[in-house]
């Protein structure tokens, strides 16, 4: 196997492997520096993609000059690996954006009553919660669309309770809040 061909494979596999390791490490730790490392990997991957194409061209020409015929199968495999970096990077970027923008809301019902008709509202959009039985804890995930506060409204033992669940949600950034409904029916919000 030609060194030109091996180098073209390395140009495709290196950013792909490093990118996967960076994404998995970021997913596990959420370390900000790993996001920057991912951007550098994408930039380096673009440079290696161009180098890989050049190396494949040289490899094909050398094989043709040696009268071995043009190595179509090998070139297509290496080209496929090089091109696969683009959807892999796109998927990593989409997944990271989706994870970052996810807001988590947990409701812990310590009261003796069932929570019904719970709704979170941001501007003109409402998000429904399932019924929350006495002693139950429910966690839901949301992608809020607007910047501003997110309000809640719920029914507990026939009375309607309203308030602010999240004081301010920034577009594209996830927040988290925990609502505890105490045994006496009071509502405590923790962020």
CATH number for the domain that contains residue 133: 2.60.40.2890
Q: Which of 140, 141, 139, 132 minimizes the C-alpha distance to 109? A: 132
Task: Please state, for a pLDDT cut of 70, what percent of the chain lies above it.
Answer: 98
Question: By the 8 A CB rule, do 78 and 52 touch?
Answer: yes
SS3 60: helix
Q: What angle do CA 169, 123, 171 make, to 5 degrees?
A: 30
pTM above 0.85, yes or no: no
Among residues 100, 131, 163, which one ends one of the domains?
Answer: 100
Euclidean distance between the first and final Cα of the chain, in Å?
Answer: 59
Asked if residue 1 has pLDDT above 70, the reply is no
Task: State the Rg of the chain over Cα.
Answer: 26
Q: Which of 123, 124, 132 minimizes the C-alpha distance to 161? A: 132
Question: By the 8 A CB rule, do 110 and 182 touch?
Answer: yes
Question: 92 with 117, same domain?
Answer: no
> What is the C-alpha to C-alpha distance for residues 26 and 54, in angstroms, rounded to an integer?
32
Question: 92 with 108, same domain?
Answer: no
Counted domains in the chain:
2
> What is the C-alpha to C-alpha distance for residues 22 and 29, in angstroms, rounded to an integer?
10
Asked if residue 38 has pLDDT above 90, the reply is yes
Q: What range does the domain containing 151 cover?
A: 103-190
Residue 111 burial (CB count, 10 A):
20
> 13: pLDDT confidence band, cut at 50, 70 and 90?
very high
Question: 93 with 8, same domain?
Answer: yes
């Amino acid at each position: 196997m030609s060194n030109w061909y091996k180098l073209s494979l390395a140009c495709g596999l290196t950013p792909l492997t490093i990118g996967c390791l960076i994404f998995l490490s970021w997913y596990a730790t959420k370390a900000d520096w790993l996001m920057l490392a991912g951007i550098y990997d994408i930039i380096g991957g673009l440079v290696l993609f161009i180098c890989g194409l050049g190396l494949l061209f040289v490899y094909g020409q050398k094989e043709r000059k040696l009268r071995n015929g043009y190595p179509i199968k090998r070139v297509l495999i290496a080209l496929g690996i090089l091109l696969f970096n683009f959807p892999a990077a796109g998927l990593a970027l989409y997944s990271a954006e989706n994870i970052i923008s996810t807001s988590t809301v947990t409701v812990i019902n310590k009261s003796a009553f069932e929570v019904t008709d719970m709704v979170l509202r941001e501007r003109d959009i409402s998000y429904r919660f399932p019924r929350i039985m006495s002693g139950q804890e429910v966690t839901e995930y949301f992608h809020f669309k607007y910047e501003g506060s997110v309000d809640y409204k719920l029914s507990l033992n026939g009375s309607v309770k309203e308030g602010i669940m999240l004081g301010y949600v920034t577009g594209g950034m996830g927040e988290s809040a925990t609502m505890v409904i105490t045994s006496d029916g009071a509502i405590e919000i923790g962020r």
